């Protein structure tokens, strides 16, 4: 899907995306020329009457907590849980069956946005060293959570496989190496090379957080440079097939050199990119194009399920779009997410009163405790898979398991909120006392 795209085209596309109003906004992010300085010197009165160019080029960080992020992150966690249960009739209704992207794109984008929102403010106020230390501390916390999750998850799978004399569980969950060589496999897990099925998201997020400090520094200096740099890394990763090795073979399921583009795009939106795109998102032309693209993606995904529809896809089109690679964040997946985001932002504004509706509070609450709920979802997904496999659960059982899992996630998130409230740490107080909670623990 990316073979025909040149480096120059990619750079031009990102420049336009980063500065949708045209060439003039793009020049704002370039170093000042002598001509610019001379022109400003000739108009001292005008310069005194309005903010200086240096001041206007500073990224406008988002202010206040955006409940939309918590809402869609909570929904994404539910969708990830449902998608992780194989042979489940409910996951036929998740977005991955009706378009090119899925809940993973939502999760990574929001993680990048919230990380830049919190740590960008800290870097602006406290400096690079302190903010970098906070970011790395958060990455360490997520790493510890990942290792804890790995340990419990391995025990869960091994116990079920041994108790029910069904080695297929170990094979399906990719832990045969662990059962044969536990010492080697544990070491490989510690360095993030070995990951059982459904445990690939946290290692990706850990790597992205570790690389965030220098990227965030560039974002606060010249946002367009950071976004264009991310695009260059993305193009190089796809062109030269760059990825991190996995154990015992293969590569990472989520290529960090590719997925960093979506993460940094989310961070770019947090430091002012969303404001620059606001005019573009209000355009009727953009809205129409997004609708058309979503309908196109919907039709293509229908051909995956109904062979009779494949005759309507020309050979040249199939050769152009396939394979739609999730590992390397295919361009079609990225564009599909952008189309969904454009339509969503158009109808769900920051002050949308629906964000206060009681029916949406469970999803918001899950999004506010995303790390804990994600880890819980991994356990619940395997438990659901086990029940469906051992008792041949039909559609009713599958639906019941899916609903029960989501209810457990909601109850857990509510319990965590209650504990923190009892400790005298309300949501607003925690945001002021420890900004790390908003970005990570919650991202």
> Which element (helix H / strand E) includes 57?
none
Give the span between the Cα atoms of 406 and 393, in whole angstroms. Answer: 18
Mean pLDDT by 10 residues, the chain (443 residues): 46 45 39 41 40 45 80 97 93 93 96 95 92 96 96 87 75 76 91 93 97 96 96 97 94 97 97 90 95 97 92 93 96 97 94 94 96 95 89 87 97 94 64 50 49
Residue 245, strand partner residues: 251
Three-state secondary structure string covering 169-200: HHHHCCCHHHHHCHHHHHHHHHCCCCCCCCCC
Distances (CA, A) of 336 to 103, 121, 237, 282, 340: 12, 30, 20, 18, 6
Instruction: Check residue 49 and give its pLDDT.
Output: 38
Ramachandran quadrant class, 181 (left: phi over 0; alpha: psi -120 to 50; beta: rest): beta
- pLDDT attached to residue 172: 76
pLDDT at 54: 37
- 3 phi and psi angles, rounded to 5 deg: -70, -30
**363-392: burial string, b at 16+ Cβ within 10 Å, e else:** bbbbbbbbbbbbbbbbbbbbbbbbbbbeee
The count of other CB atoms within 10 Å of the CB of residue 166 is 15
- Residue 98's pLDDT is 95
The predicted pLDDT at position 358 comes to 95
CA distances from 37 to 45, 98, 225 (A): 14, 53, 22
Residue 427 has a pLDDT of 52
pLDDT value of position 22: 41
What pLDDT is recorded for position 52?
37
Q: Measure CA of the first residue to CA of the last residue in the chain; give whole Å.
A: 30
Q: How far apart are alpha carbons 366 and 77 in whole angstroms? A: 8
Task: Label residues 176-202 b or e (16+ Cβ within 10 Å = b).
Answer: ebbbeeeeebeebbeebbbbbbbbbbb
DSSP classification of residue 423: T
Q: Report how far residue 435's alpha carbon sits from residue 34's, in angstroms, rounded to the nearest whole number.
A: 40
Burial of 231 (0-12, 13-18, 19+ CB in 10 A): buried
Instruction: Record the tokens describing residue 425, joined without a space.
Output: 């740490």
pLDDT recorded at residue 62? 61
């Amino acid at each position: 899907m990316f073979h025909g795209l040149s480096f120059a085209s990619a750079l031009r596309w990102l420049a336009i995306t980063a500065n949708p109003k045209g060439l003039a906004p793009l020049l704002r992010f370039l170093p000042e020329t002598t001509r610019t300085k001379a022109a400003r010197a000739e108009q001292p009165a005008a310069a005194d009457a309005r903010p200086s160019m240096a001041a206007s080029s500073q990224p406008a960080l988002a202010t206040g907590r955006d409940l939309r992020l918590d809402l869609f992150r909570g929904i994404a966690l539910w969708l990830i849980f449902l998608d992780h249960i194989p042979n489940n009739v409910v996951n036929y209704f998740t977005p991955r069956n009706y378009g090119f992207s899925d809940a993973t794109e939502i999760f990574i984008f929001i993680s990048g946005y919230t990380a830049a929102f919190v740590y960008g403010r800290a870097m602006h106020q406290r400096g690079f060293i302190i903010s970098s230390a906070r970011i790395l501390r958060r990455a360490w916390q997520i790493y510890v959570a990942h290792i804890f999750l790995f340990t419990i998850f391995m025990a869960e799978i091994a116990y079920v496989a041994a108790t029910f004399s069904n080695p297929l569980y170990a094979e399906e969950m990719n832990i045969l190496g662990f059962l044969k060589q536990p010492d080697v496999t544990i070491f490989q897990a510690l360095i993030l090379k070995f990951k059982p099925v459904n445990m690939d998201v946290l290692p990706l997020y850990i790597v992205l957080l570790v690389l965030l400090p220098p990227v965030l520094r560039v974002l606060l200096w010249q946002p367009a440079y950071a976004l264009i740099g991310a695009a260059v890394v993305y193009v190089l990763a796809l062109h030269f097939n760059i990825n991190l090795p996995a154990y015992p073979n293969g590569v990472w399921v989520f290529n960090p050199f590719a997925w960093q583009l979506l993460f940094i795009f989310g961070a770019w939106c947090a430091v002012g990119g969303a404001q620059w795109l606001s005019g573009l998102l209000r355009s009727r032309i953009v809205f129409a194009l997004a609708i058309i693209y979503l309908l196109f993606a919907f039709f293509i995904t229908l051909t995956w399920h109904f062979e009779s529809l494949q005759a309507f896809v020309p050979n040249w089109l199939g050769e152009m779009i396939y394979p739609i690679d999730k590992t390397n964040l295919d361009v079609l997946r990225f564009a599909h997410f952008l189309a969904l985001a454009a339509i969503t932002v158009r109808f769900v504004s920051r002050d949308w009163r629906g964000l206060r509706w009681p029916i949406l509070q469970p999803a918001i609450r899950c999004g506010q405790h995303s790390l804990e709920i994600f880890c819980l979802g991994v356990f619940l997904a395997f438990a659901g898979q086990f029940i469906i496999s051992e008792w041949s659960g039909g559609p009713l059982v599958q639906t019941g398991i899916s609903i029960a899992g989501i209810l457990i996630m909601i109850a857990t998130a509510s319990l965590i909120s209650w504990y923190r409230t009892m400790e005298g740490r309300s949501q607003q107080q925690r945001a002021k006392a420890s900004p790390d909670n908003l970005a990570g623990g919650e991202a």
